[in-house]
Structure 1
Amino acid sequence: MSVAITVRDWMEQYFDIRDLVRIPPDAIAPGVTDAATREFLSGVGLPEIDMSPFVPDEQFSTGMRTLAELCPEELRGLPARCGEWLLLGHFMDIPYALDGTTGTVHAIGRGCRTADSVTRPAHRDLLSLAHALRAVRQHLGFLEDQEFAVWPDDIDAVLDALIADLTQVEPDCMTHPAGIWPPLIEDIRAM
């Protein structure tokens, strides 16, 4: 007998059910036409946890806003379709946007000012982003309460395990021009 685990069950193993923010199906922005993305947003959700490197946008659960609405000045020089992307939230202060037609997740910011670096997805879908958030929680959970954080004896081994976990899901995450992982890893090494 095999037991199938759903993505929602899997997320609830790493994040408390109360920490997963879901969007009611009728509140999902009309620009989200990719069926798998709509299902993920309403059925699984994204974590909202204090001290997490990912913070959902304040209007995430009531309907995401387009980048054109929020920050038209940031879109200068980028393809027009970027304006239709929806703000998911911020990862390490870098805006993360969702292309609702494809489900891809894009980083907008820190070294991401060329059309090529922005239009190349940071994550191929929300499940990939969820895997990354789970990996951070699994390997770097000790940072969630920095006041009482107990650092592991070998932080390099912890970071190497995180990198291995991340690259299983997104093989080029450490070389992506819009990637947040190399600076995040270096920031932690420097702490």
Structure 2
Amino acid sequence: MKYSVSADDIINLFGVQGIVFFPREEPGDASDKSPSIHFLHEVGLPHDDVFLSRIDATDPGQDSVLLGETLTRQQRPYPPAAEKWLVLGYFLDSILALDPANGQVYAFPEGTNRHLLMHRNVESLVHALCALQNFQLARESVEDKDAFAEEMRSKIERFDDNPFADPISEWNIIYEEIIEGTW
């Protein structure tokens, strides 16, 4: 399948240590049919200081893959429907989880009792993380950093408008910090 981002793109931007592939499930597993699960198998997730993948290659059993177990251990509330959602990783101050039923990625910000739709699917999440990494790698060589930041935001929004839809989303916080010069 053709995606907007490839494993090679992630490796070029984040390095060989900056990509995490998810293992394939047993044949016949219902999640095997999910486009987001296929994406995680074929393309993977970036892994760096901004987005920490849930999987630690040295200790893959450290965290539960299920959101309900993870948030219960942290004594944080979550909607009952999210109990079986899959933890993808940690994006700044939020846990990101995949709803396998519809492929959408939700953020569970620390310090709040709410969650928000962050990306329409895992491909959108990776696309946005790659756009942010590209910005970080190239910003010193760009004269107009504000215009370059706006270009990054536009690239993300053209692919998926969800990342900036909620004012408290991590993407809005990052963008504001970039414009203020604190990022």
Normalised to the residue count of structure 1, the TM-score between the two structures is 0.74
Which residue of structure 2 aligns with residue 23 of structure 1? Answer: 22
1:56 counterpart residue number:
53
Name the amino acid aligned to 2:40: L
Stretches of 4+ aligned residues off by more than 6 angstroms: none
| Structure 1 residues 105 and 159: alpha-carbon distance in aligned structure 2, compared to 1, 3 A threshold | same
Residue 153 (structure 2) aligns with: 163
Aligned to 1:44: 43
For 1:172-191, what per-residue CA distance to the aligned partner results, in whole angstroms no more than 9, with x for missing partners?
43232552111111222232
Superposition CA RMSD, Å: 3.1
Aligned twin of 1:98: 98
Contact 1:94–1:109 at 8 Å: present in 2 too? yes
Contact 1:8–1:43 (8 Å) recurs in 2: no
TM superposition shift of 1:152? 3.6
Secondary structure in structure 2 of the residue aligned to 1:106: strand
Alignment partners' CA distance in 2, 1:65 and 1:92: 18
Q: TM-score, normalised by structure 2?
A: 0.77
Are residues 40 and 99 of structure 1, via their aligned partners in 2, closer, same or farther at CA, if it must alter by over 3 Å? same
Aligned to 2:118: 122
Query: Structure 1 residue 185 and structure 2 residue 175: aligned?
Result: yes
CA distance in 1, matches of 2:150, 2:161: 14
Cα deviation per residue 1:150-186 (whole Å; 9 max; x = unaligned)?
Answer: 3643221111111111110122432325521111112
| SS of residue paired to 2:148 | helix
| Shift, 1:112, TM fit | 5.2
- Counterpart CA distance in 1 for 2:47 and 2:142 is 25
Aligned match of 2:66: 66
2:130 aligned with 1:134: yes
Cα pair 2:119 2:162 within 8 Å, conserved: no
- Note if contact 1:112-1:177 (Cα within 8 Å) is conserved in structure 2: no
Question: Residues 52-87 of structure 1, C-alpha deviation per residue, up to 9 Å, x if partnerless?
Answer: x21101458957611221122212xx4201121121
Partner in structure 2 of residue 147 of structure 1: none
Alignment length, in residue pairs? 172
1:12 corresponds in structure 2 to: 8
Runs (5+) with no aligned partner, structure 2: none
Identity level (%): 24
Q: 1:106 Cα deviation (Å)?
A: 0.3
Tell me how far 1:6 sits from its aligned partner: 3.1
1:153 aligns with 143
